[in-house]
A and B are shown apart, each in its own frame.
Chain A
Amino acid sequence: MRYKSGLLASKIFIFSFLALLSFIILVPFVYLFTSSLKTSAQYFKIPIEWIPSPALWSNYSYVFVELKFYIYMWNSTFLAVSSVVLSVLSSSLIAYGFARFKFPLRNGMFILVIATMMLPGQVTMLPLFIYFKSIGWLGSYKPLLVPQLFGSAYLIFLIRQFYITLPREIDEAAKIDGCGYLRIWWNVIMPQAKPVLIVSALFVFLGSWKDVFGPLIYLSDRSSYPLAVGLLYFTSPTSNAYTLILVAIVIALVPTLLFFIFSQKYLNKGVNIANLK
Chain B
Amino acid sequence: MGSGTRKMGIEKREKIAGLLLVSPWIVGFLLFGLFPMGVSGYLTFVKWDFLRDPQWVGLSNFQDVFRNPIFYTALKNTLIITFGSSLIYLVFGVIIAAMLAKDYLGSNVFRAIIFLPSLVIGTALAMMMQPVFGNGKYGLLNQVLNLLGLPYQSWLTEPGQAVWVIVAMSFWFLGSGVIIYLAGIKGIDPSYFEAAMIDGANGLQQFYKVTIPLLTPVLLFQSIMGIIGGLQVFDLALTLASEFKTGGMGNENSLATLVFYLYTLAFRDYNMGSAAVVGWVIFIVSLLLSLVIFRLSKKFQLFGEEESK
Question: Does B associate with A?
Answer: yes
Which chain A residue lies CB-closest to B141?
A27
CB <8 Å contact, A231 and B32 = no
Assuming the contacts A3-B202, A29-B116, asked whether A196 and B183 have C-beta atoms less than 8 A apart, the reply is: yes
Stretch in A51-59, A63-71, A77-85, A157-165 touching the partner = A157-165
* Residue among A101, A116, A261 making CB contact with B112, cutoff 8 Å: A261
CB <8 Å contact, B202 and A253 = no
CA distance A100 to B14 in the complex (A): 9
Contact mask for chain B residues 26-55; partner A; CB cutoff 8 A; 1 contact, 0 none: 111101110111011001000000100000
CB <8 Å contact, A124 and B36 = yes
Assuming the contacts A231-B124, A268-B103, asked whether A131 and B36 have C-beta atoms less than 8 A apart, the reply is: yes
CB <8 Å contact, A264 and B111 = yes
User: Least Cβ distance of A140 to chain B in Å?
Assistant: 16
CB <8 Å contact, B15 and A124 = no
CA distance A100 to B303 in the complex (A): 16
Indicate the member of B19, B172, B183 with the most A CB atoms within 10 Å: B183
CB <8 Å contact, A231 and B123 = yes
Which residues in A have some Cβ–Cβ distance to B below 8 Å?
3, 6-7, 10, 14-15, 17-18, 21-22, 24-29, 31-32, 46-48, 90, 93-94, 96-104, 106-107, 109, 111-124, 126-128, 131, 147, 149-151, 154, 156-158, 161-162, 164-165, 181, 192-193, 195-196, 198-199, 202-203, 206, 209-210, 212, 227-228, 231-232, 245-246, 249, 252-253, 256-257, 260-261, 264, 267-268, 271, 273
If A26-B113, A112-B33 are given as contacts, then 19 extra A-B residue pairs at C-beta distance below 8 Å, sorted by A number, are A18-B110, A48-B138, A93-B21, A94-B21, A103-B14, A117-B225, A118-B282, A120-B282, A122-B266, A123-B36, A124-B36, A128-B36, A150-B24, A150-B31, A162-B217, A206-B119, A257-B119, A260-B115, A271-B187
> Can you sample 19 A-B contacts with CB below 8 Å?
A6-B202, A10-B203, A94-B21, A97-B18, A97-B21, A100-B18, A116-B33, A120-B262, A123-B262, A124-B37, A127-B43, A150-B31, A150-B32, A157-B224, A212-B122, A231-B124, A249-B120, A253-B120, A260-B112
